């Protein structure tokens, strides 16, 4: 095209037709400018498309982190409600609890396995880049930043009694020893049948009397009020998390939950990792819906599900579920009790349910 214009220009100059010459020269310059403009536009379009792809990749990681947060908050709310009901029972019917169970009932009110939880959103949110031309994206980043401000964790350790809460501090100050832990498997938690005389009869009798004093009644009532505040806080986080999920889904309808390297671990296999056990892999049979399955021979014992041989992502049974063979897969839930046998196992990480079907 440019050669065509050059030939016409030379011919016009040779024939002294300068007016037409300048007209064609201007057209040649305009064509070049249009070409440059279109090339720049194409380059900008490719760059913006690349940035959008990168943004959506990071956004999917944020979506997965918030998705897990939401389940954690649901579990935390359930745990808080359980503790509030337990405090009500201790306050109203202390004599209904066997005295040997009283230390466990009290310490259980202070147990919180959410203190050490840190949302993975913090690892990805800083990589979300705003775009002054994309107001929808900028508003989404703003909402995610607001979400981060309410989910910050204090980072205290689950098993660090010295960093425990008001109830635990009070009971230790009252010379009531923390319940004996299972030395072989911390996943079991407290020993159901502790060492003989771990709590003396006289100490248990005194504890029953103490529960009726104004001192103990005051701490239990105060602690109950504190739990109600915590529960409301967890509900606020849950509501905000659900809102963020909906905003991300509206921005990118193709976003999905992704889990990798899901497996089973527990005493029904080779034990937990405190004795060298490793996760036994499951196979992903439905990528879109994140469904994992396997068939295994399992010994009498317990198992849990987890990702990447890490406890950062793990699921167990609901605290009130009496039928361990199926139910909701709860983040950081209870160990799943199993009898010996061969099972077909299904874990649905879209709906967060599991099922053990005995084959023999």
- Per residue in 21-45, pLDDT (tens digit) is 455 555 666 666 776 767 666 666 5
- Average pLDDT for 160-165: 49
Q: Flag whether 55 is in a domain.
A: no
Percent of the chain residues past pLDDT 90, beyond the cut: 37
Whether 45 and 123 map to the same domain: the answer is: no
Q: Flag whether 351 is in a domain.
A: yes
pTM of the model: 0.69
Whether 316 and 175 map to the same domain: the answer is: no
Distance CA 353, CA 280 (A): 19
Which domain covers residue 95, as residue numbers? 62-251
Whether 39 and 78 map to the same domain: the answer is: no
Whether 125 and 155 map to the same domain: the answer is: yes
- Average pLDDT for 179-202: 72
pLDDT(114) > 70: no
Split at pLDDT 50, 70, 90, the class of 120 is confident
CATH number at residue 318: 2.60.40.3620
Q: Flag whether 57 is in a domain.
A: no
- Average pLDDT for 197-208: 90
pLDDT(186) > 80: no
Whether 266 and 242 map to the same domain: the answer is: no
Q: Flag whether 69 is in a domain.
A: yes
- pLDDT given for residue 153 in this prediction: 53
Contact between 307 and 261 (Cβ < 8 Å):
yes
Q: Looking at 220, 251, 282, which one is the last position of a domain?
A: 251
- pLDDT given for residue 356 in this prediction: 96
Q: Looking at 185, 217, 251, which one is the last position of a domain?
A: 251
Q: Flag whether 119 is in a domain.
A: yes
- Average pLDDT for 219-230: 92
- Average pLDDT for 299-320: 87
- pLDDT given for residue 161 in this prediction: 38
Whether 39 and 101 map to the same domain: the answer is: no
- Report how many domains make up the chain: 3
Q: Flag whether 178 is in a domain.
A: yes
Whether 189 and 310 map to the same domain: the answer is: no
Whether 245 and 271 map to the same domain: the answer is: no
pLDDT(345) > 50: yes
Q: Flag whether 312 is in a domain.
A: yes
Q: Looking at 251, 271, 288, which one is the last position of a domain?
A: 251
pLDDT(274) > 70: yes
pLDDT(262) > 90: yes
Whether 149 and 9 map to the same domain: the answer is: no
Split at pLDDT 50, 70, 90, the class of 353 is very high
Whether 289 and 266 map to the same domain: the answer is: yes
- pLDDT given for residue 53 in this prediction: 80
- pLDDT given for residue 50 in this prediction: 77
- pLDDT given for residue 157 in this prediction: 35
Whether 244 and 117 map to the same domain: the answer is: yes
- pLDDT given for residue 156 in this prediction: 36
Whether 93 and 234 map to the same domain: the answer is: yes
- Average pLDDT for 279-283: 94
Over the chain, what is the mean pLDDT? 82
Q: Flag whether 257 is in a domain.
A: no
């Amino acid at each position: 095209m440019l050669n065509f214009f050059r030939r016409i220009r030379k011919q016009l100059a040779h024939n002294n037709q300068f007016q037409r010459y300048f007209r064609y020269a201007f057209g040649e310059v305009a064509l070049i400018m249009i070409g440059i403009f279109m090339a720049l536009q194409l380059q900008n379009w490719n760059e913006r498309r690349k940035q959008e792809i990168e943004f959506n990749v990071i956004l999917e990681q944020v979506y997965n982190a918030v998705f897990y947060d939401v389940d954690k908050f649901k579990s935390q709310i359930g745990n808080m409600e359980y503790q509030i009901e337990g405090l009500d029972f201790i306050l109203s019917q202390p004599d209904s609890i066997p005295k040997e169970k009283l230390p466990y009932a009290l310490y259980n009110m202070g147990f919180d396995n959410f203190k050490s939880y840190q949302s993975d959103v913090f690892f990805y949110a800083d990589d979300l880049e705003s775009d002054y031309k994309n107001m929808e994206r900028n508003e989404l980043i703003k909402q995610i930043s607001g979400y981060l401000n309410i989910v910050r964790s204090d980072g205290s350790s689950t098993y660090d009694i010295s960093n425990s809460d008001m109830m635990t501090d009070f009971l230790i100050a009252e010379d009531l020893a923390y319940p004996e832990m299972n030395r072989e498997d911390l996943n079991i938690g407290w020993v159901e049948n502790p060492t003989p005389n771990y709590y003396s009869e006289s100490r248990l009798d005194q504890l029953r009397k103490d529960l009726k004093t104004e001192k103990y009644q005051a701490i239990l009532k105060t602690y109950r009020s504190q739990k109600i505040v915590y529960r409301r806080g967890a509900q606020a986080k849950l509501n905000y998390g659900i809102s963020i999920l909906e905003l991300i889904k509206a921005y990118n309808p193709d976003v999905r939950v992704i889990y990798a390297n899901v497996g089973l671990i527990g005493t029904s296999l080779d034990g937990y990792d405190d004795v060298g056990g490793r996760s036994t892999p499951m196979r992903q049979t439905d990528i879109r819906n994140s469904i994992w399955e396997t068939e295994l021979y399992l010994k009498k014992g317990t198992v849990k599900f987890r990702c990447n041989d890490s406890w950062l992502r793990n699921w167990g049974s609901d605290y009130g579920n009496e039928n361990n063979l199926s139910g909701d897969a709860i983040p950081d839930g209870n160990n799943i009790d199993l009898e010996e046998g061969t099972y077909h196992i299904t874990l649905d990480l879209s709906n967060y349910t599991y099922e053990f079907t005995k084959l023999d």
